[in-house]
A and B are shown apart, each in its own frame.
Chain A
Amino acid sequence: MIQILSLLMSVSLVSFIEYILPPILYIIVFPGLIVVLLMLFFMIWLERKVAAKTQLRFGPLYVSKRFGGVIQTVADLIRFSFQEFIIPAGADVFAYIQAPGLLMAFGLLPLIFIPVGPYYANIFPANYSLLIVVPLIIITPIYVILLGWASDNKFSFVGSMREAFLVISYEIPLILSILSMILLYGSVNAINGVSFQIGRGIPGIVLNPIAAFLFLVVMIRTTGRFPFEISEAESEVVMGPYTEYSALFFGIGMSLPYIELYSFSLLFSVLFLGGWWPIVPSAAAASGVVGGLLLPGLVVFIKALIVMAFLVFLRAVYPRYRIDQAITVGWDQAVYLGFAAVALSMALVWSGLV
């Protein structure tokens, strides 16, 4: 508080707006809440539409016929918002109500620490961004387990247990994959990683394809895409942890995987797809909001959209794995791949090739 007051006294109003605006822009508008919401609507619609096209049919259409039913998710959201909210008799009420909110909060938190432009360093402490993002990404499943525990439903419980097992088995591959990129870029600052890629002119996916592949697999697993849609497997455990949730809380629960998908995809495009390349802002432009945040951010966002579209398309191709098979992959092949990725990075760094 004192800091802000002293700041107010020391700087003029214009420079104060310049100081306060970018963080608000970053959190509220882009890549924050508003874009997340729009992305959510678009992605859920795209998933249904892409699957429908693969399956020789139309998918959502009549809700807005001219635009291919693109506002279908809005209709679903309105319906969910005004439906009766049921708390099951056996549920632990406090946990039952707070879990979806916390889930949403922790799902959105990693977005703050993923830089989408060079200007980002001016707003937030970016020096340790990767170190902060990884635990934040891993923390959300704890609240998924809380959902299942609070619901007092056997299918929720089984689904939560599945989620717990899977999270544990895919943590090491995720950390190894990011570690190999940290080794390669020589920094835990993601902005430095992007500068590294732009400077060498080679994206991370070419430098270390093993780590990229591994990250992709962990991304599919964590966001519950096919073939790893195991904790919500409909024909086995109904809706998994979300079985008892109705109305808006179910909407929150179901949108969480897409938010996770969004933060993972942003991270993927920053780490492996060259970030805001080909837009390379000059030093002067990089200190401005438009040149340093919005334009590079748009590029990252488009790259992330392509990654997300690829991942939602997997639904149309693959059935789901059994849980023990998925766990075996996580503890066995994925860990070895992770070590291979680290070894590759070390070899590249030591040999001085990059």
Chain B
Amino acid sequence: MGGGADGVAYFGNLETVSKKAVSFLKKQGYVKSMINWGDKFSLWPVHLMTSCCGTEFAAASGPRFDLERLGFLPFGGPRQTNLIVIEGTTTLKMARSVRIVWEQMPAPKWVIAMGACAMDGGIFYDSYNTVPAKDIVPIDIFLAGCPPRPEALARAVVMLQESIVKNRPPAADIQVTAAPATPGPKDVVEAVSK
């Protein structure tokens, strides 16, 4: 039967029909604002702990900060979620997982880069095993702090909600270049000499 190749189900081309219907609906103004309202209060982050800011992420969903008030419900599988919170450093190994999870998620999807490490490396800036998060997935909100307090994460979620209501689309996908993934001494020397 095969899945994505032709996408033909038994009652016409399901994919095109549904896409047309959805795009028609999305053009209607009131429908658009309703979708935005739904997205705003239904930001479910996927369970992907990239690094140590995960402890503060956990505290943020704990009782004192309780981000579920905002409809923010950490959830297990990537297929049902629409938000990645990159918690801190992304290493070479983790970068691939982040990219795969991002691609597994259904559109529209958003990304919050939490912590200094996710922004530009933080105190691990010159490590041989880290990748800046902005080179892996498109990022909507950068959140400073090392680690950011849970209140700061709440603020980032509210900022994201505001940008959704203002009808801003999610950040566009970035070009992931096929540069050497893991430079050794030779690559480093070349990069430095340039």
Contacts and interface: CB of A to CB of B under 8 A. Distances in A.
Any A–B CB pair closer than 8 Å? yes
Interface string A269-304: 000000000000000000000000000000000000
A341 B82 CA distance: 48
B184 interface: no
B7 to A, nearest CB: 8
A81 B31 CA distance: 12
Interface in A71-98: 72, 74-94, 97
A91 to B, nearest CB: 5
Contacts of A75: 37-38, 40-42, 71
Size band of the interface chain B makes with A: 35 or more
B22 A92 contact: no
Contact of A63 (B26, B66, B71): B71
A94 B11 CA distance: 10
Size band of the interface chain A makes with B: 35 or more
Interface string B48-88: 00000000000000110010111101001101101000000
Contact of A94 (B10, B37, B106): B10
Contacts of A192: none
Nearest to A233: B76
B171 interface: no
A93 B26 CA distance: 26
- Which one of A57, A239, A250 has the highest number of Cβ atoms from chain B below 10 Å of its Cβ? A57
Interface string B8-35: 0110001000100010011000000011
A79 B42 contact: yes
Nearest to B80: A250
Contacts of B18: 85
Given A60-B69, A62-B70, A94-B10, A243 B106 contact: no
B79 A246 contact: yes
A86 to B, nearest CB: 5
A82 B22 contact: yes
Interface stretch (A6-14, A48-56, A118-126): A48-56
B3 interface: yes
A334 to B, nearest CB: 29
Interface in A205-237: 234
A138 interface: no
Interface string B98-123: 00000010111000000000000000
Nearest to A63: B41
A64 B79 CA distance: 27
Interface string B136-179: 00000000000000000000000000000000000000000000
Contacts of B39: 78-79
A97 B9 contact: yes
Given A83-B107, A94-B10, A246-B80, A60 B68 contact: yes
Contact of A78 (B9, B26, B34): B34
- Which one of A48, A84, A97, A244 has the highest number of Cβ atoms from chain B below 10 Å of its Cβ? A84
Nearest to B81: A246
30 contacts: A48-B73, A52-B66, A52-B68, A55-B63, A57-B63, A60-B68, A60-B71, A62-B70, A62-B71, A63-B41, A63-B71, A75-B38, A75-B40, A75-B41, A76-B38, A78-B37, A78-B39, A79-B38, A79-B42, A79-B82, A83-B108, A85-B18, A89-B4, A93-B1, A94-B9, A94-B10, A239-B76, A239-B77, A243-B77, A243-B79
Given A60-B69, A89-B4, 11 more contacts: A57-B63, A61-B70, A72-B41, A78-B34, A78-B38, A79-B39, A81-B38, A84-B106, A84-B107, A93-B1, A94-B9
Interface of B: 1-4, 7, 9-10, 14, 18, 22, 25-26, 34-35, 37-42, 62-63, 66, 68-71, 73, 76-77, 79-80, 82, 104, 106-108
Which 3 A-B pairs give the minimum distances between C-beta atoms? A78-B38, A84-B106, A79-B42
